[in-house]
Structure 1
Amino acid sequence: MTTARIVYASMTGNNEEIAGIVEEAFQDLEIDVETTEISQADAADYQKADICVLVTYTYGEGDMPDEAQDFYDDLLEEDLTGKIYGTCGSGDRFYEGHFCATVDDFDKAFAQTGATKGADSVKVDLAAEADDIANLEAFVQKLVTAATNR
C-alpha cells in the first residue's frame, strides 16, 4: 500500500488547514497518510513513506520560519532516492518578490535528497479558497500517480 507523510509549519492556521486538505485528498484516494507539525517531526520520518509532502509558510520578506530551519537542515542530510515529493503552502502576495519563497526552498532541498518531484508546488495566497482546494486535490492526484508509476 502506498503511504504518504505530510509535515507542516503553520503560524496563523492557514497551513494547518492546507495540510488537512492534502491529508483528506490522500485519504479519498485510499492512501495511508500521516501528518505531523514540523516541530514534532523528524526528516528521517520520510524514509517510512512513499510520498513526502512539506507544507510551509514564508516569514516576512522571504525568511524560513524558525521552527522549520532545523528540519530543513536535517532534510538536506537525508537520501530520499526512490521517494516522490511535493511542496505547498501559503504566503501573502503583499510580499511580491518573496511570495511563498520557503515553499521553493524546500522544493530545492527535496531535489538535493534524490527524491523525484511528483507535482508542481502549490502556492496559496493566505487562506485556501475553492480554487486552491481544487489545485491541492490535483496536486495530490499527481503525487499518487507519480508514486504508482515509478
Structure 2
Amino acid sequence: MSNILITYTSMTGHNEKIAKHLEEYLKGKGADVTLEQLVDSDAFDLPDYDAVIVGSYTYHEGELPDEAQDFYEDLEDVDLDRTKFAVFGSSSKGHIHYGRAVDYFTMQLNSSNGDQAADSVKINGEVEPDDLKRIETMADYVLKSLE
C-alpha cells in the first residue's frame, strides 16, 4: 500500500477542496494518505513517504504564501532521495503571475532530488468538475509511478 502525503495551503478554500478530494480519491484507490496543512508539515519528513503532493496558492506579486515559506526554504536542505511528487494550486489567470507558487514548488522539489510523477496542475479560480478530473489524472500518475 502506498504511503502518500498531501500537504497544502489555502486562503480561499479552493486548495483545501482539492486536497480533500485528492485524499478521498487516493484512499478509494487503496493508498494510505496523510492530509495536513503545509504550515504543519516538516520538509525533512518527506523522504519517509512514497509520494508527496503539494498544493499552494500564489500570493500577491507571484510570491509564496507566508505559511509556505519555512517548508519551502527547508526543502533546499532535504534530499528527497527520488521521492515521487506532484504539485497543484488554485490561482487566477487574471494575475500576471498565474500559479507561480506551483512553479516554485515544482522547481524546488526537483532540485531536492525528487522524482516528478505528474505534470503540475494549475486551476483558475473556483474548482470545477473538469478541474477535479485533471486532479484525479494527476493522482493516477502518482499511483502508477509507485507500482
Fold-level similarity (TM above 0.5): yes
Residue of structure 2 equivalent to 1:144: 143
Residue of structure 2 equivalent to 1:100: 99
SS at match of 1:98: coil
Report the Cα offset of residue 47 of structure 1: 2.0
Residue of structure 2 equivalent to 1:111: 110
Segments of 5+ residues of structure 1 without an aligned counterpart are none
SS at match of 1:89: strand
Residue of structure 2 equivalent to 1:50: 50
Is 1:12 matched with 2:19? no
Is 1:90 matched with 2:95? no
SS at match of 1:109: helix
Give TM-score, length-normalised by structure 1.
0.94
SS at match of 2:146: helix
Give TM-score, length-normalised by structure 2.
0.96
Quick one: which amino acid aligns to residue 145 of structure 2?
A: A
Separation of aligned partners in 2, 1:98 and 1:143 = 27
Among all aligned residue pairs of Structure 1 and Structure 2, give the percentage whose two residues are the same amino acid: 35
1:59-115 superposed Cα distances (whole Å, 9 cap, x missing partner): 1221110111111001121111231000001001110x3110000000000001111
Residue of structure 2 equivalent to 1:32: 32
SS at match of 1:57: coil
Quick one: which amino acid aligns to residue 106 of structure 1?
A: F
Is 1:123 matched with 2:128? no
Quick one: which amino acid aligns to residue 76 of structure 2?
A: L
Residue of structure 2 equivalent to 1:61: 61
Separation of aligned partners in 2, 1:104 and 1:10 = 16
Are 2:15 and 2:55, in contact at CA under 8 Å, matched by a contact in 1? yes
Quick one: which amino acid aligns to residue 75 of structure 2?
A: L
CA RMSD between the two structures: 0.9
Segments of 5+ residues of structure 2 without an aligned counterpart are none
Residue of structure 2 equivalent to 1:132: 131
Further displaced range: 133-142 or 41-50: 41-50
Residue of structure 2 equivalent to 1:2: 2
Separation of aligned partners in 1, 2:111 and 2:142 = 18
Residue of structure 1 equivalent to 2:41: 41
Separation of aligned partners in 2, 1:93 and 1:19 = 21
